[in-house]
A and B are shown apart, each in its own frame.
Chain A
Protein backbone atom coordinates (compact mmCIF):
# COMPACT_ATOMS: atom_id res chain seq x y z
CA UNK A 1 0.00 0.00 0.00
CA UNK A 2 1.30 3.40 -0.94
CA UNK A 3 1.17 5.48 2.21
CA UNK A 4 2.92 8.54 0.80
CA UNK A 5 -0.29 10.46 -0.04
CA UNK A 6 -1.63 9.67 3.42
CA UNK A 7 1.53 10.92 5.10
CA UNK A 8 1.51 14.10 3.04
CA UNK A 9 -2.18 14.76 3.72
CA UNK A 10 -1.77 14.13 7.44
CA UNK A 11 1.30 16.36 7.64
CA UNK A 12 -0.53 19.17 5.86
CA UNK A 13 -3.47 18.82 8.23
CA UNK A 14 -1.17 19.02 11.23
CA UNK A 15 0.63 22.04 9.81
CA UNK A 16 -2.57 23.90 9.03
CA UNK A 17 -3.89 23.14 12.52
CA UNK A 18 -0.88 24.63 14.22
CA UNK A 19 -0.96 27.64 11.92
CA UNK A 20 -4.60 28.33 12.78
CA UNK A 21 -4.03 27.85 16.48
CA UNK A 22 -1.35 30.53 16.58
CA UNK A 23 -2.95 33.92 17.21
CA UNK A 24 0.30 35.74 17.95
CA UNK A 25 1.71 38.46 15.71
CA UNK A 26 5.22 37.82 14.47
CA UNK A 27 6.21 41.07 12.78
CA UNK A 28 9.95 41.77 13.23
CA UNK A 29 10.39 44.52 15.80
CA UNK A 30 12.45 46.56 13.33
CA UNK A 31 9.31 46.95 11.21
CA UNK A 32 6.96 48.04 14.01
CA UNK A 33 5.23 51.39 13.69
CA UNK A 34 4.74 53.51 16.81
CA UNK A 35 1.54 52.77 18.71
CA UNK A 36 0.75 56.49 18.58
CA UNK A 37 0.38 56.12 14.80
CA UNK A 38 -2.19 53.39 15.33
CA UNK A 39 -4.02 55.58 17.83
CA UNK A 40 -4.13 58.46 15.32
CA UNK A 41 -5.27 56.13 12.51
CA UNK A 42 -8.10 54.73 14.60
CA UNK A 43 -9.17 58.09 15.97
CA UNK A 44 -9.28 59.39 12.40
CA UNK A 45 -11.68 56.53 11.67
CA UNK A 46 -13.93 57.64 14.51
CA UNK A 47 -12.62 55.45 17.31
CA UNK A 48 -12.23 56.50 20.90
CA UNK A 49 -9.06 54.73 22.02
CA UNK A 50 -8.76 53.96 25.73
CA UNK A 51 -5.49 52.06 25.71
CA UNK A 52 -3.01 50.32 23.43
CA UNK A 53 -0.69 47.69 24.81
CA UNK A 54 1.53 44.97 23.41
CA UNK A 55 0.20 41.44 23.84
CA UNK A 56 1.72 38.35 22.24
CA UNK A 57 3.49 40.52 19.71
CA UNK A 58 0.32 42.35 18.65
CA UNK A 59 -0.97 45.81 19.47
CA UNK A 60 -4.05 45.25 21.60
CA UNK A 61 -6.45 48.19 21.52
CA UNK A 62 -9.28 48.81 23.92
CA UNK A 63 -11.78 51.49 23.06
CA UNK A 64 -15.03 52.36 21.36
CA UNK A 65 -15.42 51.76 17.65
CA UNK A 66 -17.14 54.32 15.37
CA UNK A 67 -20.50 52.64 16.17
CA UNK A 68 -19.99 53.27 19.88
CA UNK A 69 -19.41 49.63 20.80
CA UNK A 70 -16.82 48.86 23.42
CA UNK A 71 -14.29 46.61 21.71
CA UNK A 72 -10.93 44.94 22.09
CA UNK A 73 -8.99 44.60 18.86
CA UNK A 74 -5.61 43.24 17.90
CA UNK A 75 -3.48 44.71 15.13
CA UNK A 76 -0.22 43.67 13.51
CA UNK A 77 2.33 46.22 14.73
CA UNK A 78 4.05 46.61 11.34
CA UNK A 79 1.10 46.77 8.96
CA UNK A 80 -1.75 47.71 11.35
CA UNK A 81 -3.67 44.82 9.81
CA UNK A 82 -6.67 43.87 11.96
CA UNK A 83 -6.12 40.40 13.47
CA UNK A 84 -9.04 40.05 15.83
CA UNK A 85 -11.96 42.15 17.01
CA UNK A 86 -14.12 41.38 19.98
CA UNK A 87 -17.07 43.30 21.37
CA UNK A 88 -17.04 43.76 25.10
CA UNK A 89 -20.25 45.64 25.80
CA UNK A 90 -23.78 44.33 26.36
CA UNK A 91 -22.24 41.22 27.93
CA UNK A 92 -21.60 39.84 24.46
CA UNK A 93 -18.28 38.20 23.84
CA UNK A 94 -18.85 37.57 20.16
CA UNK A 95 -15.95 38.16 17.86
CA UNK A 96 -15.25 37.73 14.20
CA UNK A 97 -14.85 34.00 14.59
CA UNK A 98 -18.37 33.62 15.88
CA UNK A 99 -17.55 32.32 19.35
CA UNK A 100 -20.41 32.58 21.77
CA UNK A 101 -20.87 32.78 25.49
CA UNK A 102 -22.16 29.90 27.51
CA UNK A 103 -24.29 32.06 29.76
CA UNK A 104 -27.61 30.42 30.40
CA UNK A 105 -26.61 27.69 28.01
CA UNK A 106 -27.65 24.17 28.72
CA UNK A 107 -26.01 21.40 26.79
CA UNK A 108 -25.57 17.72 27.33
CA UNK A 109 -23.02 16.36 24.96
CA UNK A 110 -20.73 13.37 25.24
CA UNK A 111 -18.59 13.11 28.34
CA UNK A 112 -15.60 15.41 28.07
CA UNK A 113 -13.88 14.76 31.37
CA UNK A 114 -10.39 13.32 30.76
CA UNK A 115 -10.57 10.92 33.72
CA UNK A 116 -14.28 10.26 33.42
CA UNK A 117 -15.30 11.62 36.83
CA UNK A 118 -17.65 14.17 35.26
CA UNK A 119 -20.55 12.74 33.26
CA UNK A 120 -21.64 14.85 30.32
CA UNK A 121 -20.98 18.53 29.80
CA UNK A 122 -21.52 20.86 32.76
CA UNK A 123 -24.43 23.30 32.65
CA UNK A 124 -23.27 26.83 33.33
CA UNK A 125 -25.37 29.89 34.13
CA UNK A 126 -24.40 33.38 35.25
CA UNK A 127 -26.71 35.49 37.40
Chain B
Protein backbone atom coordinates (compact mmCIF):
# COMPACT_ATOMS: atom_id res chain seq x y z
CA UNK B 1 0.00 0.00 0.00
CA UNK B 2 2.80 2.35 0.92
CA UNK B 3 4.46 1.61 -2.37
CA UNK B 4 1.29 2.52 -4.28
CA UNK B 5 0.94 5.78 -2.38
CA UNK B 6 4.59 6.56 -3.01
CA UNK B 7 4.18 5.86 -6.73
CA UNK B 8 1.05 8.04 -6.89
CA UNK B 9 2.80 10.83 -5.03
CA UNK B 10 5.82 10.62 -7.30
CA UNK B 11 3.61 10.66 -10.38
CA UNK B 12 1.77 13.75 -9.07
CA UNK B 13 5.02 15.56 -8.28
CA UNK B 14 6.36 14.79 -11.73
CA UNK B 15 3.17 15.69 -13.56
CA UNK B 16 1.95 18.87 -11.89
CA UNK B 17 5.01 21.05 -12.58
CA UNK B 18 4.86 19.85 -16.20
CA UNK B 19 1.47 21.51 -16.57
CA UNK B 20 2.37 24.52 -14.48
CA UNK B 21 5.34 25.30 -16.71
CA UNK B 22 3.39 25.52 -19.96
CA UNK B 23 1.53 28.69 -20.82
CA UNK B 24 -0.96 29.25 -23.62
CA UNK B 25 0.11 31.94 -26.05
CA UNK B 26 -1.68 33.19 -29.16
CA UNK B 27 0.36 34.97 -31.83
CA UNK B 28 -1.81 37.04 -34.19
CA UNK B 29 -0.28 38.25 -37.44
CA UNK B 30 -2.40 40.58 -39.56
CA UNK B 31 -1.17 41.09 -43.10
CA UNK B 32 -1.54 44.31 -45.05
CA UNK B 33 -3.32 44.41 -48.41
CA UNK B 34 -0.09 44.05 -50.36
CA UNK B 35 -2.05 42.53 -53.26
CA UNK B 36 0.17 39.58 -54.19
CA UNK B 37 0.03 35.82 -53.77
CA UNK B 38 -0.27 34.18 -50.33
CA UNK B 39 2.58 35.13 -48.00
CA UNK B 40 5.03 32.63 -46.57
CA UNK B 41 5.67 33.42 -42.91
CA UNK B 42 8.14 32.07 -40.36
CA UNK B 43 7.17 32.57 -36.71
CA UNK B 44 10.14 31.74 -34.51
CA UNK B 45 12.06 32.57 -31.36
CA UNK B 46 15.56 33.98 -31.09
CA UNK B 47 17.69 35.00 -28.15
CA UNK B 48 18.25 38.69 -27.38
CA UNK B 49 21.07 38.83 -29.95
CA UNK B 50 18.82 37.52 -32.70
CA UNK B 51 20.35 34.05 -32.68
CA UNK B 52 17.81 31.45 -33.81
CA UNK B 53 16.35 29.34 -31.04
CA UNK B 54 13.17 27.55 -32.13
CA UNK B 55 10.52 27.45 -34.85
CA UNK B 56 6.93 28.02 -33.74
CA UNK B 57 5.08 27.91 -37.07
CA UNK B 58 5.78 28.11 -40.81
CA UNK B 59 2.98 29.30 -43.12
CA UNK B 60 3.42 27.96 -46.64
CA UNK B 61 3.58 24.37 -47.74
CA UNK B 62 6.28 24.27 -50.39
CA UNK B 63 9.60 23.80 -48.66
CA UNK B 64 11.51 24.89 -51.75
CA UNK B 65 10.41 28.46 -51.03
CA UNK B 66 11.49 28.39 -47.37
CA UNK B 67 14.91 29.79 -48.27
CA UNK B 68 13.15 33.13 -48.89
CA UNK B 69 12.36 33.35 -45.16
CA UNK B 70 15.93 34.43 -44.94
CA UNK B 71 16.90 34.91 -41.31
CA UNK B 72 14.86 31.92 -40.22
CA UNK B 73 16.39 29.84 -43.02
CA UNK B 74 19.89 30.75 -41.94
CA UNK B 75 19.18 30.10 -38.27
CA UNK B 76 17.35 26.82 -38.72
CA UNK B 77 19.70 25.65 -41.45
CA UNK B 78 16.46 24.68 -43.27
CA UNK B 79 16.75 21.48 -41.29
CA UNK B 80 13.47 19.61 -41.66
CA UNK B 81 13.59 18.43 -38.04
CA UNK B 82 13.23 22.10 -37.04
CA UNK B 83 9.85 22.55 -38.74
CA UNK B 84 8.45 19.06 -39.20
CA UNK B 85 4.78 19.10 -38.15
CA UNK B 86 4.84 22.89 -37.73
CA UNK B 87 3.74 23.96 -41.20
CA UNK B 88 0.46 25.01 -42.75
CA UNK B 89 -1.01 27.09 -45.54
CA UNK B 90 0.32 30.44 -46.68
CA UNK B 91 -1.65 33.51 -45.56
CA UNK B 92 -3.56 35.60 -48.07
CA UNK B 93 -3.15 39.37 -48.35
CA UNK B 94 -5.21 41.24 -45.74
CA UNK B 95 -5.92 38.22 -43.53
CA UNK B 96 -5.01 37.51 -39.92
CA UNK B 97 -3.36 34.32 -38.80
CA UNK B 98 -3.70 33.18 -35.18
CA UNK B 99 -1.27 30.57 -33.90
CA UNK B 100 -2.09 29.24 -30.44
CA UNK B 101 0.31 26.98 -28.59
CA UNK B 102 1.42 25.87 -25.15
CA UNK B 103 4.82 27.44 -24.57
CA UNK B 104 7.26 26.51 -21.83
CA UNK B 105 7.14 29.21 -19.14
CA UNK B 106 10.92 29.51 -19.03
CA UNK B 107 10.86 31.22 -22.45
CA UNK B 108 8.83 34.19 -21.15
CA UNK B 109 10.62 37.20 -19.60
CA UNK B 110 13.91 35.44 -20.30
CA UNK B 111 15.33 37.70 -23.00
CA UNK B 112 13.88 35.80 -25.96
CA UNK B 113 12.42 37.55 -28.99
CA UNK B 114 9.53 36.61 -31.26
CA UNK B 115 10.33 37.17 -34.91
CA UNK B 116 8.41 36.90 -38.17
CA UNK B 117 10.11 36.64 -41.57
CA UNK B 118 7.87 37.04 -44.60
CA UNK B 119 8.09 36.41 -48.34
CA UNK B 120 5.72 36.63 -51.31
CA UNK B 121 6.33 35.18 -54.74
CA UNK B 122 7.71 37.73 -57.23
CA UNK B 123 7.88 40.33 -54.44
CA UNK B 124 10.62 41.17 -51.97
CA UNK B 125 11.60 39.06 -48.98
CA UNK B 126 11.40 40.61 -45.52
CA UNK B 127 13.78 39.31 -42.93
CA UNK B 128 12.63 40.20 -39.43
CA UNK B 129 9.36 41.76 -40.58
CA UNK B 130 8.47 41.65 -36.86
CA UNK B 131 10.88 41.64 -33.89
CA UNK B 132 9.40 41.85 -30.41
CA UNK B 133 10.60 40.71 -26.97
CA UNK B 134 8.58 37.85 -25.43
CA UNK B 135 7.59 39.34 -22.07
CA UNK B 136 4.58 39.39 -19.77
CA UNK B 137 4.49 43.17 -20.16
CA UNK B 138 4.43 42.95 -23.96
CA UNK B 139 1.35 40.71 -23.98
CA UNK B 140 -1.59 42.32 -25.76
CA UNK B 141 0.48 45.19 -27.18
CA UNK B 142 0.14 45.43 -30.94
CA UNK B 143 3.17 46.44 -32.98
CA UNK B 144 3.55 47.29 -36.67
CA UNK B 145 5.58 45.11 -39.01
CA UNK B 146 8.13 46.40 -41.52
CA UNK B 147 7.03 44.33 -44.52
CA UNK B 148 3.81 42.49 -45.35
CA UNK B 149 2.81 42.34 -41.68
CA UNK B 150 0.50 45.22 -40.84
CA UNK B 151 0.29 44.41 -37.14
CA UNK B 152 1.42 41.71 -34.77
CA UNK B 153 0.34 40.93 -31.22
CA UNK B 154 0.76 38.04 -28.82
CA UNK B 155 -1.47 37.27 -25.86
CA UNK B 156 -0.36 35.26 -22.86
CA UNK B 157 -3.05 33.48 -20.87
Q: Is B one of A's binding partners?
A: yes
A binding-site residues for B, Cβ under 8 Å: 23, 55-56, 88, 91, 93, 99, 101-103, 105, 109, 112-127
Distance (whole angstroms) from the CB of B48 to the closest CB of chain A = 16
B interface size (C-beta, 8 A): 32
Q: Which residues of A contact B54 (CB under 8 A)?
A: 113-115, 117-118
Q: Are A118 and B103 in contact (CB under 8 A)?
A: yes
- How many A-B pairs have beta carbons closer than 8 Å: the answer is 79
- A-B residue pairs in contact (CB < 8 Å), sample of 14: A93-B90, A101-B88, A101-B89, A102-B89, A112-B86, A117-B107, A118-B56, A120-B102, A121-B101, A122-B56, A124-B99, A126-B89, A126-B98, A127-B96
Distance (whole angstroms) from the CB of A37 to the closest CB of chain B = 23
Distance (whole angstroms) from the CB of B92 to the closest CB of chain A = 7
In angstroms, Cα B19 to Cα A120, docked, is 12
Q: Assuming the A-B contacts A115-B54, A127-B96, are A103 and B89 also in contact, with contact meaning beta carbons closer than 8 angstroms in the complex?
A: yes
Distance (whole angstroms) from the CB of B68 to the closest CB of chain A = 12
Q: Does B109 contact A (CB under 8 A)?
A: no
In angstroms, Cα B81 to Cα A127, docked, is 29
Distance (whole angstroms) from the CB of A38 to the closest CB of chain B = 19
Q: Which residues of A contact B100 (CB under 8 A)?
A: 122-124
Q: Which residues of A contact B37 (CB under 8 A)?
A: 88
Known: A114-B81, A118-B56, A118-B104. 20 other contacts (CB 8 A): A56-B64, A91-B92, A101-B89, A112-B86, A114-B54, A114-B82, A117-B54, A117-B104, A119-B22, A119-B104, A120-B101, A122-B56, A122-B100, A123-B100, A124-B88, A125-B98, A126-B89, A126-B95, A126-B96, A126-B98
Question: Which 5 residue pairs of A and B lie closest in terms of their CB atoms, listed nearest first?
Answer: A102-B88, A112-B85, A119-B102, A101-B89, A122-B101
